[in-house]
Amino acid sequence: MLERLDLRGQCNESSDELAGLLPRPQVGDAVSQDAVRRLIAQVRDGGDAAVRELTARFDGVDIAEPLVPVSELSAAWEGLPPGLRTAMETAHRRVLEFHRAEAAANHTYERDGVTVRSVSQPVDRAGIYVPGGLAAYPSTVLMTVLVARAAGVDDIALCSPPGPDGNLAAPVLAAAHLCGVTEVHRVGGVQAVAALAYGTETIRPADVVAGPGNAWVATAKQLVAGDVGVASAFAGPSEIVVIADATCPPAAAATDVVLQAEHGPGGRAWLVTWDEGCADAVCDAIGQIVDLSPRREETLATLEADGFVCLVDGPAQAVDVANIVAPEHLQLMCEGAEELVSSIRHAGAVFIGPWAPASVGDYVAGPSHVLPTAGTARFAGALTTDDFTKRMHVVDVSEAGFDQLAPAVAELAEAEGLWAHAASVSRRKEWSTSGVRP
């Protein structure tokens, strides 16, 4: 089920050579960027009519009015089973508290008569994408909307693809209600990203678009970036790397490999170990777990296409492999796991030890589960409040500070041939005292 890669005896390879031995995701091959561009242009030019046509084409339902009435959101919340409602409230509290604590604080820098305040300003409107269609992800509502809320965004629109009956799952609607979202649209795929980026007759454009999705959705976000704010991560199909050894129960490692694979095709699942017996036992356990899963077909599709068991010489090479893969989720289920963390440079989130499965991060740990995939953890991280804010600097200069710094400004301006820049400081004293203007 998992392709076996044996890197033992190659631990002296350079990182570039080691990378050449590992399969890498081919993001550009997953979908046609030209095809995505055409769909984006169709929505940008055709508005609501284009959204309706594309929803009918890709989701198989004709929806004349995609906006969900607010009454349906509150009804969904009231109709939740008590256990699920409590679970959502637990996740809501933890996610909001974490991101409020992590949010960058305003700060002030003072020196030589110059005071600079760095002020974090939220965007006016956020567009949130929540995957759906064949599965429901109320947790993604919490993990995106609450990050925007913690950043100070008040105006939030949420889009999610309709199911075969043309509706959104009740838990998704309930989560939106819990998070205070009143604008929910039954729109998914590229058409949702385009509508949130450029607007239609009924969906106002957002300043930032965030949320995970399949390769089409992630590619669409890349293509609209610049016209609208988009988190730098390629938040596509789910991935996990599990580093395990003989101290880890095989069934535990196997379950953790499978838990991200069950999202379906397009993701990646890795087991990395220096113990061949561990590899064999975990692979056997994976087969048993997959056979029990109600999502057997989706899980198999991922594992057979992009499932790997990688044999290495030891923990150091296991970390090298993880850094090259740069996974969305990295799980350390081996002796001395904590000591390995300082060597991890590229991962969306790291989970340590037997009691921290990635599922805890998916639901209740606190940080957003919207994470970089397809190797983009090399330069991007998790969704945070920074994705919904921008820094504004407020500069105040005293007369004494001006006197001290003006000569440096004039010298730099003259070196760059910018006369007015230099004049703005060299003549300012004269203008302020005599009222003379050039």
111 with 402: CB under 8 angstroms?
no
From the list 177, 329, 346, 369, the catalytic residue is 329
Q: How far apart are CA 417 and CA 406, in angstroms?
A: 16
From the list 262, 263, 328, 369, the catalytic residue is 328
Nearest to 154 by CA among 123, 176, 192, 185: 123
Quick check: is 262 catalytic? no
Q: How many other CB atoms are found less than 10 A from the CB of residue 408?
A: 10
HEC secondary structure over 350-405 = EEECCCCCHHHHHHCCCCCCCCCCCCHHHCCCCCCHHHHEEEEEEEEECHHHHHHH
Q: Strand, helix or coil at 126?
A: strand
Nearest to 179 by CA among 263, 74, 75, 105: 74
> ∠ at Cα 182 (177, 186), nearest 5°?
95
Quick check: is 328 catalytic? yes
Q: What is the enclosing helix (H) or strand (E) of 107?
A: strand 107-111
Q: Count Cα neighbours of 157 within 13 Å in the Cβ-side half-sphere.
A: 26
Active site residues: 328-329
